Amino acid sequence: MFLAVLCCLLWSFPISSGHFPRACASSENLLAKECCPPWKGDGSPCGRLSGRGSCQDVHLSNAPSGPQFPFRGVDDRTSDQMKNGSMPMFADINIYDLFVWMHYYVSRDTLLGRSEVWTDIDFAHEAPGFLPWHRLFLLLWEQEIQELTGDENFAVPY
């Protein structure tokens, strides 16, 4: 019964199709710290007139363990990786790259905080979540193949 309720609950959440606008990932926009690309639907910045989004200032916390990076002792803000926005750290990826990254992310070591890493178990493969996680993974993969081929009857046996 619990599994049926859990499946219904998870199925009710829509998959997000939002993302960081590619137009905002250029060196110029990162240096200017402003990007409100016009949406092609209505021409308004960030699709404001259609209710799709709005342009807002981003306020970062100056706390040593702020909400944008809560791992104590592993603060990446000190390494100046972005070089003041002059070197964007974005890559053009395809669907295959996204699925490889998703699988890698789920099977990686567990971060416990304070630079502690738990390598004893892989929660995607050595835990009760193996079947539900891989079923969802294959359903998403199947959906992408259906969109690519235009065949909504395509199915992966599981």
pTM score above 0.75: no
Per-residue pLDDT of 109-139, as tens digits, reads 777 777 777 777 777 888 888 899 899 999 9
Could you tell me which residues come within 8 angstroms of residue 11 by beta carbon, excluding any fewer than 6 positions away? none
Q: What is the dihedral of CA 23, 26, 31, 37, to 10 degrees?
A: -10
**CA–CA gap between residue 39 and residue 23 (Å, rounded):** 11
Q: What's the CA gap between 55 and 25, in Å, rounded?
A: 15
Express each pLDDT in 37-69 by its tens digit: 777 888 888 778 888 777 776 665 565 554 555
Q: List CB contacts of 99: < 8 A, sequence separation 6 or more.
A: 137, 140, 141, 144
Q: Are 44 and 38 in contact (CB under 8 A)?
A: yes
140 band by pLDDT with thresholds 50, 70 and 90: very high
- Residues 86-105 pLDDT 10s: 666 677 788 899 999 888 88
CB atoms within 10 A of CB 133: 18
- The helix (run of H) or strand (run of E) holding residue 6 is helix 2-12
Q: Is the pLDDT of residue 152 over 70?
A: yes
Q: Show me where the domains of the chain are located.
A: 29-89, 91-158
Is 124 in contact with 110 (CB distance < 8 Å)? no
